Chains A and B, each alone.
Chain A
């Protein structure tokens, strides 16, 4: 798949600069674009249950968001932002260094540089291969206390002040802290939506995948060649069995978020989902068929985002592109506090 196939025009205005609550909407009142082989329908997220058949299994991500953006100081470059992407264990982290929320790197730093992250001494170990904005960093102590003390949710230039508190970055399903950025596909779910789904005989199961920072733009000419960094994940036994049973019984499985597809496809083994845990950097693209799910609920993704390749693996390219054209035409909002997209390969 060519990088150019992931490109499209998205007007600057179509960015959610804050949570829908600021626009007078509840979480579940954001818009929902429904794309199926029948075409595209426009709805509100709380209409979701009527688009899903009884017996459908929804799989959600139970990862909770950390206040992972920390102030940092470099001896030569002065004050920086250190967005903590991924914890590798012990004092080993993958970190994105930026000048500010609006100004990305890469920065002129070198392996061996000593810096302070929220006052914690840290040393730059090595850049991530293929992703020079991301650095392996070693600290003496866990950065979690630093996050509690001095961290704020990672944010980028499109977000407007006053910046939302951490609670706005937790989905209804959030349990295990670990994500650098909210797995936002789950954000529009509210209790009333879940109750309506359950009343309709739609099941819920959970996986955990802790997101890293969203440096996901495809730079390689061939999408399959794009380097992705690895993220921690876990598919528990209960969920592995539920998804496997749904596949066998031909009941639809819908992933809530690209993170869920990444986890389930990583755990897929021939004809079933196995319980699995570890790190995954699987790139899902049209060249490798998606076996574990029939559809996806997700936000709207930026031009050239690697997540778009995943959408093209879930549904035919013309359908995905037509959906995005529709979303732009109808003024849907992008980003983590924006609108939602239900994409299904078969008819609803």
Chain B
């Protein structure tokens, strides 16, 4: 069954790992990242699975680029999955909120909140046609109140609320929306948050594959509106557990 996914931040890290997993299952892909050489290289390796991969270099914060991404999905025949993964950490080293440069905070909002929201709008008609799923990548920084993580955390908390609200608003159009906190991963972005530190104890993004395998097969109505942790012990669905009669023997 032919399915299409659009992945932002697809050149490396979590986005690249998910792209690989989807390509290996026969998904058609549109991937994007800011670095042209990197996104092209990613596309080349992904194409070895035999499916079409459209690579577009650009910034998700750019409206024209978002329109190009939507067009690319349309050209592939539709969209089943949008993975809003591209994010900026904001100002680094991570300043406390009391000192956070406000223009950097605005920029972080543009990339981490407005861009995903705007991209959802661009591709919504395609998602509605297929009963598709939006996955917005979150972080425990959205909840923890950790000193230094307030800037990035603010943007992820906003994205979390957007995910929940959209899930409720789009229920009638059969488009599912979920937030996913992938957990700590050994990626370049994570290293940027901990400059000079040894992050080799964090798992590689492949640790999240069972979660994606599970999420992508769930009926949208069963997961929409939920916030998941990909490395958690348990992934639950919305559907009320079917009522079993008393144990019949």
Taking beta carbons and an 8 Å cutoff, which residues of A are in contact with B? 60, 62, 88-92, 94, 111-112, 123-126, 128-130, 136, 138, 140, 172-173, 175, 189, 191, 194, 204-206, 208, 229-230, 234-240, 266, 275-283
A62 to B244, CA, bound (A): 10
For A240, list chain B residues within 8 Å (CB): 241
Contact A230 B246 (CB under 8 A): no
The stretch among B53-61, B67-75, B137-145, B213-221 that forms the contact with chain A is: B213-221
Contact B246 A238 (CB under 8 A): yes
Interface: B237 (CB within 8 A): yes
Which 4 residue pairs across A and B have the least CB separation, nearest first?
A89-B217, A278-B236, A282-B233, A275-B241
For A175, list chain B residues within 8 Å (CB): 244, 248
Interface: B210 (CB within 8 A): yes
**A-B interface pairs (CB < 8 A), number:** 114
Nearest Cβ in chain A — how far from B36, in angstroms? 26
Whose C-beta in chain B lies nearest to the C-beta of A190? B249
What is the 8 Å Cβ interface bit string for chain B, positions 223-247, against chain A (1 contact, 0 not)? 0000000000111110111111011
A23 to B24, CA, bound (A): 49
Contact A128 B210 (CB under 8 A): yes
Q: How large is the interface on B (under 10, 10 to 19, 20 to 34, 35 or more residues)?
A: 20 to 34
For A239, list chain B residues within 8 Å (CB): 244
Nearest Cβ in chain B — how far from A225, in angstroms? 11
For A283, list chain B residues within 8 Å (CB): 233
Nearest Cβ in chain A — how far from B90, in angstroms? 30
Contact A280 B209 (CB under 8 A): no
For B49, list chain A residues within 8 Å (CB): 112
Contact A125 B234 (CB under 8 A): no
For B92, list chain A residues within 8 Å (CB): none
For B25, list chain A residues within 8 Å (CB): 92, 123, 125, 138
Among B21, B204, B213, max chain A CB count under 10 A is at B213
Nearest Cβ in chain A — how far from B233, in angstroms? 4
Whose C-beta in chain A lies nearest to the C-beta of B24? A125
For A266, list chain B residues within 8 Å (CB): 233-234
Contact B236 A236 (CB under 8 A): no
Contact A275 B240 (CB under 8 A): yes
Contact B241 A277 (CB under 8 A): yes
Interface: B207 (CB within 8 A): yes
Contact B233 A128 (CB under 8 A): no
Interface: B206 (CB within 8 A): yes
For A236, list chain B residues within 8 Å (CB): 241-244
For A138, list chain B residues within 8 Å (CB): 24-26
Partner among A90, A173, A234, A280 whose Cβ is within 8 Å of the Cβ of B234: A280
List 9 additional A-B contacts (Cβ < 8 Å) besides A60-B247, A92-B217, A206-B244.
A88-B213, A88-B214, A89-B214, A94-B210, A136-B209, A236-B241, A236-B243, A236-B244, A266-B233
Contact B242 A136 (CB under 8 A): no
Contact A204 B247 (CB under 8 A): yes
A191 to B209, CA, bound (A): 43
Interface: B1 (CB within 8 A): yes
Contact A128 B209 (CB under 8 A): yes
For B202, list chain A residues within 8 Å (CB): none
Query: Could you pull out 13 A-B pairs where Cβ atoms are within 8 angstroms?
Result: A88-B214, A91-B1, A94-B213, A128-B210, A136-B209, A205-B246, A205-B247, A208-B244, A234-B242, A236-B241, A276-B236, A281-B210, A281-B234
A130 to B209, CA, bound (A): 11
Nearest Cβ in chain B — how far from A219, in angstroms? 16
Contact B247 A173 (CB under 8 A): yes
Also in contact, A112 and B247, with CB within 8 A (given A235-B241, A277-B239): no
Interface: B48 (CB within 8 A): yes
For B1, list chain A residues within 8 Å (CB): 90-91, 140
A62 to B242, CA, bound (A): 13
For A173, list chain B residues within 8 Å (CB): 247, 249
A277 to B226, CA, bound (A): 13
Contact A129 B244 (CB under 8 A): no
Contact B24 A112 (CB under 8 A): yes
Whose C-beta in chain A lies nearest to the C-beta of B206? A129
Nearest Cβ in chain B — how far from A250, in angstroms? 22
Whose C-beta in chain B lies nearest to the C-beta of A194? B249
Contact B210 A204 (CB under 8 A): no
For A94, list chain B residues within 8 Å (CB): 210, 213
A277 to B242, CA, bound (A): 9
Tell me the chain B residues, 24-66 only, with Cβ under 8 Å from chain A.
Answer: 24-26, 48-49
Among B21, B239, B249, max chain A CB count under 10 A is at B249
Nearest Cβ in chain B — how far from A111, in angstroms? 5
A136 to B25, CA, bound (A): 9
